[in-house]
Every structure is written in C-alpha cells, then in structure tokens.
Chains A and B, each alone.
Chain A
Amino acid sequence: MYLKKNIATSESGFIFNPSTGDSYSANPVAAEIVQLLKQGTASSSVKEQILQKYEVDPFRLEQDWDDFMNQLKEANLLGD
C-alpha cells in the first residue's frame, strides 16, 4: 500500500484528495509520516525513523501505525 500519487500534502498537516475534494488535518507526527510516505519512503523505514526520533514502544507504534493506515484507507488516500 502506498499514498496515492495525486494526494496533496503540506508540512503543516493539511491533506487534500483531489479526486474527491476531501481535505483533512493531521497532527504533527501524522503529518511527518504522510510527508515521508508521499516522498516514497518505505513503511519500514518510516517506522524506523519514528522510533529513533520519538520515545515510543515498538509494539505501541505497530498498533498506532495500523490504526493510522486504516484511517488513511478509509479516507481513500491509499492505493494498492
């Protein structure tokens, strides 16, 4: 799964889906993840960067990651 190519993002966490007209606001960590995904960074590498940068338990990160990916999928922002 990857972030759809035409999704527009900003550093401030604004996400715009030009296919549907929907827009979303992401919190700073989510915005960082979305930016990295947008640049084509692999999921494993994004997770690694988050683990290095923030004090977070790897197990907790996995849980939150799945949750966030589900939200992105629900919002029609991910492609197969």
Chain B
Amino acid sequence: MEKPDNLLTIAVTGLNAIDSPGPGIAVIRGLREGLHRPVRIIGLSYETLEPGIYMHDVVDKTYQIPYPAAGSEALLRRLQYIHEKEQLQLIIPNFDAELYNFIRLGPALKNMGIATFLPSQEQFDARDKINLYRFGKKHNLLVPKDKIINSPAELNACEEAMGFPLVVKGKFYDAVVAYTLEQAQKAFYKLTAKWGFPVIVQEYINGTEINIAVLGDGKGNAVSIIPMRKLYITDKGKAWAGITLEDDALIKIAGDFVKATQWKGGCELEIMRTKKNELYIMEINPRFPAWIYLTAAAGQNQPAALAKMALGEEQPFYTAYEVGKIFIRYSWDHITDIKEFHQISGMGEL
C-alpha cells in the first residue's frame, strides 16, 4: 500500500504505561489528535514488557533500542537501522536518562534528516537536581536549599544546616522525607544502591504540590504553559488524577523559567506553594510529564505543538486553556500473544 504524501513518521520512547508511567503513550495520543494528518508512530523500547509495544492502535511498529549506558554510538547505529526501514522524520525521547545521548546525537540525526526538539546540553545540565540550587540563585528563582553528598557521614552537616525533616533524593529518581538521622541514613543507602552517587539532600518545604507542563521554543518564549494539581497520588508519588489550574503566578514562574533558560522542548516544573503563597521550584524534569495529554484536553496540545516546531512549521503561542479539566488514569489488562512477546524479545522489533 502506498504511503500518503503527507504521512508523518515519528519515533517516540517511554512506552511503559505502567503504575509509574513513561509519557510515551500520552505523547502519541496528543500527536495523533493534534497533527491533523496521517501519523505513523514508531515506538522505541527498552524492556520487552512495555505495554505500548503491544498496543497496535497506538504504536504502529516498535524497535528495541540499547540502554543509555551502552552509549550514543550504539544508539546511533540502531537508529540508522530503524531509519533505513522507516524513514523517520522526528524523534521525541521521553526519559531523563536517555536524553544525554539524544542531545549528543542531535547533529548526526539532523544530517540523516531526522528532527529533534531538545534542550542543549548546557540547559539540560543547568536544571539537573545537582545544580538546581545554583540555577535558582542565578536566575532569581525560589529553590530549596540543598547539599550534594557522597557519604552518609555528611548527613550530620545537612542536619546542622537545614534541620529535620530533610528530603533525601536519588540522582535520577526517588525522594524520601527523613525525620531522623537514622531515616536519612537508610534513605541514603537505599538511593545510592538504586541510582548511584551522589545523593541530594534538600530542605523540606511544606505546602501544596503543583506541576506545570511547559513547552519552550528555544528562543525564550513559552509556547504553552499548563499548571496542574494532583488530585490523587499513588504510593510512588505519581498523579493518578489531576486538574488544570488557573493562577497567573504559576504562569509567570514558568514563563520566567523559559525566558531565563531559553528552554527548547517540553519540560515539567514541580512547584511547591507554601502557606505564604511562595512558589518554590522543587525540580525541573527535562521532558514531557506522563500526564501531558491533559494539555491537549485543556486546549493546548503540547506534543503536537512540539512536533510542528521540530518540523519547522509555524506554531502560534497558546494563551487560553480550559481550567478545571480533569484526568483520571485507569488500568487495563491488555491481552497479547506469546508470539508477539517472542517477536519483540527475540527479534527486537514488533
């Protein structure tokens, strides 16, 4: 069957629509609804049981790709193979840990005719948890105090500087609120075993957590800003339901962030609003959040807008969105066959 002339072939990672979900499926949903032309979605997976691999209405074809630790050369070789078969036009990576390689490969991908729309390495590093406090100070953004530690002995100094409770954070993911030195030590060992060194010890800020999905054009403009409050949180701290908010202060802080960093691409700001109405930036995730489809539902389809900008098409800045729009995640037992599992685990593609 011939391909339609206006077919867009877009590769997306983060197909792990599990209890702590990657954003891939939500991104694809946004792309399919918002681009108003035929879209072929190529899934890029790491694990054989990422549900998106088997969701053929959502993902047209999936290829396994090497883990980030294999390095950018191995990833490039695999992408060259996939590109030969699929003629990719755009790749949207959705995991923090893989972004380093994709950013590094940006120029090579461009030479192959594959677009990306990602922050620069400098932008990516500046908002890293390890550099967040310095980043906040530099750009006049309110960020909790922190200390980067490599040994549990340093926890005593953290207690003296910030007092308990403290938030002990892993290098990539996970955070534990510790109320005693023993709890902090336990968290230190647990987090280093899982994510390696260093560990970030952060001042505990009490308040209401708000998340903001942001899309920057790389020139200091925010194309879209959607604030959301979690209405239901899983034991892993993930939103199972959330609602869009209206608050000029939230829009401003996201706009200030984009202006200060010239952020290019999607990101999520994790904000804590204190009782005094101070807005602390707790974390900046350098990619779309898993709840990104809510932006489309609220009237600002960030995945589709990113795709258009990446492909050099005009994308006006969004201003209005629907406040009080709610998402409720649900689980569903998708049924597949052993043949499919064999295909992806044995052949690396499905």
Contacts and interface: CB of A to CB of B under 8 A. Distances in A.
Interface of A: 6, 8, 16, 18-21
B231 to A, nearest CB: 7
Contacts of B324: 8, 16, 18
Contacts of A18: 245-247, 323-324
Interface residues of B, number: 11
B298 to A, nearest CB: 12
Nearest to B208: A20
A20 B231 CA distance: 11
A21 B246 CA distance: 9
Contacts of A19: 245-247
B229 interface: yes
Interface of B: 208, 228-229, 231, 242-243, 245-247, 323-324
A13 to B, nearest CB: 16
A19 B243 CA distance: 10
Contacts of B231: 21
Nearest to A16: B324
B93 to A, nearest CB: 30
What DSSP secondary structure best describes chain B's contact surface? strand
Contacts of A8: 324
10 contacts: A8-B324, A18-B245, A18-B323, A18-B324, A19-B245, A19-B247, A20-B245, A21-B231, A21-B243, A21-B245
Contacts of B245: 18-21
A20 B323 contact: no
Nearest to B249: A19
A16 B229 CA distance: 13
A2 B93 CA distance: 47
Contacts of A20: 208, 229, 245
A61 B246 CA distance: 34
B289 to A, nearest CB: 16
Query: Considering residues A6, A8, A16, A18, which has the most beta carbons from chain B within 10 angstroms of its beta carbon?
Result: A18
A19 B210 CA distance: 10
Most buried by B among A16, A18, A19, A21: A21
A17 to B, nearest CB: 9
B208 to A, nearest CB: 7
B291 to A, nearest CB: 13
A6 B228 CA distance: 16
Nearest to B275: A76
Contacts of B243: 21
A8 B322 CA distance: 13
A5 to B, nearest CB: 11
A18 B242 CA distance: 12
Contacts of A6: 246
Given A6-B246, A21-B228, A21-B245, 17 more contacts: A8-B324, A16-B324, A18-B245, A18-B246, A18-B247, A18-B323, A18-B324, A19-B245, A19-B246, A19-B247, A20-B208, A20-B229, A20-B245, A21-B229, A21-B231, A21-B242, A21-B243
